[in-house]
Amino acid sequence: MDIDRITLNLRLNINLKKKLKIAIVGIGLMGSQHLRAISASKKAKLHSIVDVNKKSIIHAKRFKVPFYKTSDELIKNNKPDAVIVATPNQFHEKHTMSFLNAKIPVLLEKPISDDISKAKKNYLKLKKK
């Protein structure tokens, strides 16, 4: 995953002198790849990790960042500059919508949803805001 592409997209909104703080939601196979990309980037750093599996706290401990069990906890406690959503497909829409509604930019793993018509409706609604 190209973290530099995310930083490019956010360039207008974020103070470039600081590293972009990115949270990872779902630290399985793909989340771990994103973690590797963030730790290798000069423009980004890990903000926090969200995962329902409490064993995943090991990654947060390793990078000395907060660990949350739900995306709502993250939004309520400590907003990141951006999030990467790498949870199973059935949670993509719920997670993405909650972050976008909180005005947090999202990089979402494919597919955008497991229900394309619902996804279209929701994302179009957001576009009009």
Ligand X SMILES: NC(=O)c1ccc[n+]([C@@H]2O[C@H](COP(=O)([O-])OP(=O)(O)OC[C@H]3O[C@@H](n4cnc5c(N)ncnc54)[C@H](O)[C@@H]3O)[C@@H](O)[C@H]2O)c1
Residue 116 token pair: 């394309």
Nearer to ligand X, 21 or 59 (CB): 59
CA-CA distance, 74 to 48, in Å (whole number)?
8
Q: Nearest-CA neighbor of 48 among 35, 60, 30? A: 60
CA-CA distance, 48 to 59, in Å (whole number)?
9
Chosen residue from 34, 109, 113, 122 binding ligand X by CB under 6 A = 109
Q: Which stretch binds ligand X (CB under 6 A): 11-19, 29-37, 75-83, 112-120?
A: 29-37
In the complex, minimum distance from the CB of residue 58 to ligand X, in angstroms, rounded to a whole number: 11
Nearer to ligand X, 20 or 35 (CB): 35
In sequence order, the β-bridge partners of residue 84 are: 24, 107
Nearer to ligand X, 20 or 107 (CB): 107
CA-CA distance, 77 to 88, in Å (whole number)?
23
Q: Is 58 in the site for ligand X (CB under 6 A)?
A: no
Q: Is 93 in the site for ligand X (CB under 6 A)?
A: no
Chosen residue from 91, 100, 105, 123 binding ligand X by CB under 6 A = 91
In the complex, minimum distance from the CB of residue 32 to ligand X, in angstroms, rounded to a whole number: 7
Q: Which residue has the tokens 């997209």?
A: 9
**Residues 69 and 51: beta-carbon distance below 8 Å:** yes
Which residues contact ligand X (rule: CB under 6 A)? 25-31, 50-53, 56, 86-89, 91, 109-110
